Amino acid sequence: MKQQKLDISIPKERYKIISSTVTDLGTNKVCPSVMIVNRSLLNFRQKEAFAWGCQITICLTELLENGLPTKESEAKVNNLQCLIDGKIKESVESPNALFVVKEIQNGICKLHYQVRDAKSTKRILKKLINQNLFDLEWDYEICYDEEWADTEWVWDYFKLPWHTVVKYRPEFYNEQGHYTKDEWTSICDVDKEYDGYKFTLKEYIEVENNYVNFITDIMEYSEMEFVTIRRFNLYDSISNQIAKDKRYREINEPLKELDKSLRKGARIHRSKIGNYIRACLRELADISFENKGKGFELDFGYDYYMHIRSSLPVEQLRQIARQNDLFLDPR
């Protein structure tokens, strides 16, 4: 079946070999695992064009003691993969399939593809299975997977490290990483006393602004115009929460507008991100943000802890934090 030509750019395959270990749940034995990942798909955005996940499982018959294939067995698998690859892709310029990852562990090899036309792919694979090629036993499974959820775990190996951003000074953390100073941790602490001084709403807003400015600074330095809502949780609409809490109704009033745009996948411009951050810090919403193209992620924890991933150098992140009276990874 001739595929309609794709009007998107398909990146040239680039591979990364990742060696790790897995535990056999049956024997509790630790076995080596080898993965070959098509790293060029790390930031591939047009996933919906290849909306079907195809997993091919090959049983390895000639094994080393550690469960990996012998050279002869590996050669057979490579020959089969090469044949499958050429058949289901069909075209270099406008392929029907994208190779994602190859897993080899504990006597099994799995090939993961994302394909455009599930029917033609099934037809090709059935025909190949019936030919009994290379003296290998194998099968396949094709499922609708528009978000590529089945292979999402692969990209964790490429993600940048998480960093913690806080208002808390590093010298007050003990060796166990616990903060020892009696200090406010929430907007609910306004008007309480700490070290003999009443914590005011004005002081709260100043610190909250520092958190907002830190994120907008990172977005600016990263040349990032938008972030996307990856997930969100609400126990009630923001408007209803504000209506029930008269104490902060005045400063919370502008946040009511967020109810209109809170949805997974919504794109938030840098100029609008401030109120979303305020809603999270004021415990009105639990929202995670990302920009996959820039390797950026933003999440919020308890007690005014904020967590980020960023492609900016660590020292630059630390400097941006200092400029906003915040601390990066204080523990």
Is 7 a member of any domain? no
Is 73 a member of any domain? yes
Is 305 a member of any domain? yes
Same domain, 91 and 110: yes
Task: Report whether 145 contacts 51 (CB < 8 A).
Answer: yes
d(CA 133, CA 135): 6
Is 139 a member of any domain? yes
Q: Which of 94, 122, 157 is the last residue before a domain boundary?
A: 157
SS3 call for 222: coil
Q: Name the DSSP letter for residue 310.
A: -
The pLDDT value recorded for residue 252 is 95
Is 150 a member of any domain? yes
Same domain, 63 and 174: no
Residue owning tokens 């997977």: 145
What residues are paired with 108 via a beta bridge?
Answer: 59, 105
Considering only residues 292 and 284, tell me which one the structure prediction assigns the higher pLDDT.
284
d(CA 94, CA 27): 45
Same domain, 179 and 284: yes
Domain that holds residue 111: 15-157
Q: Is the alpha carbon torsion for 33, 37, 113, 142 positive or negative?
A: positive
Which residue type, as a one-letter code, is found at position 201?
L
Same domain, 56 and 191: no
Average pLDDT along the chain: 92
Q: Which band of pLDDT confidence, cut at 50, 70 and 90, is reported for residue 1?
A: very low
Residue 300 CB coordination number (10 Å) = 19
| C-alpha pair distances (Å), 131 with each of 81, 126, 142 | 14, 9, 20
- Percentages helix, strand, coil for the chain (3-state, rounded to 5) are 40, 25, 35
The pLDDT value recorded for residue 28 is 66
Q: What's the domain count of the chain?
A: 2
The pLDDT value recorded for residue 91 is 79
The pLDDT value recorded for residue 100 is 97
Same domain, 167 and 148: no
Is 6 a member of any domain? no
Look up the CATH number of the domain holding residue 63.
Answer: 3.30.70.100
d(CA 285, CA 283): 6
pLDDT for 79-104, tens place per residue? 999 999 999 998 777 899 999 999 99
Q: Which of 110, 139, 157 is the last residue before a domain boundary?
A: 157
The pLDDT value recorded for residue 26 is 64
Average pLDDT of the residues in 261-278: 96
In the chain, how many H helices and how many E strands?
7, 15
Same domain, 180 and 274: yes
Is 8 a member of any domain? no
pLDDT for 150-198, tens place per residue? 998 888 888 788 999 999 999 999 988 899 999 999 999 999 999 899 9
Average pLDDT of the residues in 276-284: 97
Q: Which band of pLDDT confidence, cut at 50, 70 and 90, is reported for residue 271?
A: very high
pLDDT for 212-237, tens place per residue? 999 999 999 999 999 999 999 998 99
Same domain, 148 and 171: no
Same domain, 313 and 180: yes
pLDDT for 10-60, tens place per residue? 889 999 998 887 766 666 677 888 999 999 998 888 999 999 999 999 999
Q: Which of 135, 157, 179 is the last residue before a domain boundary?
A: 157
Same domain, 68 and 108: yes
Same domain, 150 and 179: no
Average pLDDT of the residues in 109-127: 96
d(CA 300, CA 288): 7
